[in-house]
Structure 1
């Protein structure tokens, strides 16, 4: 019988040891955030605070991710959604859990009571065969022992993909696209998606929950922040 293929790093293709999966330690470490990140806009900061100076003025929703989409893991996160390749999903979920634990220890976040995945329209779900946000939320639910709530929030419009649209087009595209049609038993939730770019999708959903006085955090595998933010330091 032929032996199994060696377990190799998705980035550098070096063989992984028995304690590694998906990415080797070097590649994983190099792709994760190395400095404090503003939970509002994603800007690099000198001190571990909730928000940069600009975001402190209006304190936007907190977006929590372990890494930048542009710093190495982007192609593998895209492969989850568009190619159904899930090799990177568990290790990036683990990195997100570690990031959450660190922020909680520092008093910068409070863990939610439940996890809610961004839903797909039924047509898109049939075409793709899976909802990547649900898969990520399920993994996080198992690791954090938090309930996964995937009923009640629906995507009632089969909108065009957000990729390639500017901010105005994204907002118009998602106007009234979601519906929250059940009473909700939780006061704090984490809304989960694979990537947050402009935040239009999660903002549209968050407003539905906030209208019912439910506090919303945003969790994702990576943040596609605006160009240049990681090179700027700000107290």
Structure 2
């Protein structure tokens, strides 16, 4: 959870995530949640517009080697028609001159929707859900996603990349639930 001085929250102290830092452009609620839901339900242009609005809110603590969007499983990608995280990463990568390397992380298995699931269920659903693909050794990677709720998806993806040799993994999201 966000902290006034940027320190780790109690939950992160109790259950340290595999990522180092999270930057969220917006709080999830009100009109932001309505726009994010529209983006997930076929209105990819809303996703792109939100990503552009978020650029001034991103802080580069350290320049990453690349941005890696959270991948969708092939079945979910066919269903939705696009990956909203990849669209966000594309906008942010262009705006900040950071390469987007979507090929470095793959969704190894289809996982159930996480909406409404508790933290333990989310973590169980995401076990071995990702596979690193390609050489990530020594890289500082920023994972990109649309919404962070418990951080389980970002943790699972970051853990996978760290196990494959990434030096540091951070996360940037459009919105964070509070």
Q: TM-score range by the shorter chain?
A: 0.7 to 0.9
1:118 aligns with 2:66: no
What is the Cα-based RMSD across aligned positions, in Å? 2.2
* Alignment partner of 2:55 out of 83, 97, 103: 97
Q: Aligned in 2, Cα 1:55/1:177: closer, same or farther, shift over 3 Å?
A: closer
Partner of 2:171: 218
1:190 aligns with 2:142: yes
Structure of greater Rg? 1
Q: Distance in 1 between matches of 2:9 and 2:116?
A: 30
Q: Distance in 1 between matches of 2:74 and 2:166?
A: 28
Secondary structure of the corresponding residue to residue 38 of structure 2: helix
CA contact (8 A) 2:21 2:171 kept: yes
Secondary structure of the corresponding residue to residue 151 of structure 1: helix
Superposed displacement of residue 97, structure 1: 2.2
Return the structure number with greater relative CO, CA threshold 8 A, min gap 6.
2
CA contact (8 A) 1:114 1:186 kept: no
**Structure 2 length normalisation: TM-score?**
0.87
Which structure: greater strand fraction? 2
CA contact (8 A) 2:44 2:82 kept: no
Partner of 1:149: 101
Deviations 1:43-69 (A, max 9, x none): 4x2xxx332674796775311012100
Question: Please, which runs of 5 or more residues in structure 2 have no aligned partner?
Answer: none
Q: Distance in 1 between matches of 2:99 and 2:54?
A: 17
Q: Aligned in 2, Cα 1:87/1:218: closer, same or farther, shift over 3 Å?
A: same
1:51 aligns with 2:7: yes
* Alignment partner of 2:154 out of 192, 202, 226: 202
1:42 aligns with 2:12: no
Superposed displacement of residue 79, structure 1: 0.8
Secondary structure of the corresponding residue to residue 65 of structure 1: strand
Question: Please, which runs of 5 or more residues in structure 1 have no aligned partner?
Answer: 1-40, 226-235
Deviations 1:82-120 (A, max 9, x none): 232523532x3234321224xx4xxxx213121000000
Which structure: greater helix fraction? 2
Q: Distance in 2 between matches of 1:186 and 1:135?
A: 26
Q: Distance in 1 between matches of 2:122 and 2:144?
A: 18
Please identify runs of 4+ aligned residues in structure 1 that moved more than 6 A: none
**Structure 1 length normalisation: TM-score?**
0.67
Superposed displacement of residue 183, structure 1: 1.4
